[in-house]
């Protein structure tokens, strides 16, 4: 379960985030490259662009559901 108290520092402000349990498997960046980036300073993936449309939220939610460490969260916003 993602930890909202341990968000990666580079996350763009908004409901979606990556926490510091990220192992940088690259999965989120492969699924949603327009929304996730890599922070070389921390070695963590992060949300670089919050989704705005239903289609974008669907893609980010897919990345969230495929995260092996469950490090992607959305602060309780409804998925989809």
* Domain CATH code at residue 40: 3.30.70.20
* Number of structural domains found in the chain: 1
Sign of the alpha-carbon dihedral angle for 25, 12, 61, 65: positive
In a domain, 35, yes or no: yes
Q: Which domain holds residue 47?
A: 17-73
What pLDDT score does 46 carry?
Answer: 98
What pLDDT score does 56 carry?
Answer: 98
The DSSP bridge partners found for residue 18 are: 72
Q: What is the pTM of this model?
A: 0.92
The DSSP bridge partners found for residue 46 are: 37
What distance in Å separates the CA atoms of residue 17 and residue 54, rounded to the nearest whole number?
17
In a domain, 9, yes or no: no
**Residues in the chain with pLDDT values less than 50:** 79-80
In a domain, 12, yes or no: no
């Amino acid at each position: 379960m993602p930890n909202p108290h341990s968000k990666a520092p580079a996350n763009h402000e908004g409901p979606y985030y990556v926490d510091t349990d990220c192992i940088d498997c690259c999965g989120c960046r492969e699924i949603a490259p327009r929304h996730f980036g890599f922070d070389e300073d921390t070695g963590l993936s992060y949300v670089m662009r919050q989704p705005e449309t239903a289609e974008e939220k669907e893609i980010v939610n897919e990345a969230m559901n495929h995260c092996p460490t469950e490090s992607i969260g959305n602060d309780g916003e409804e998925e989809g």
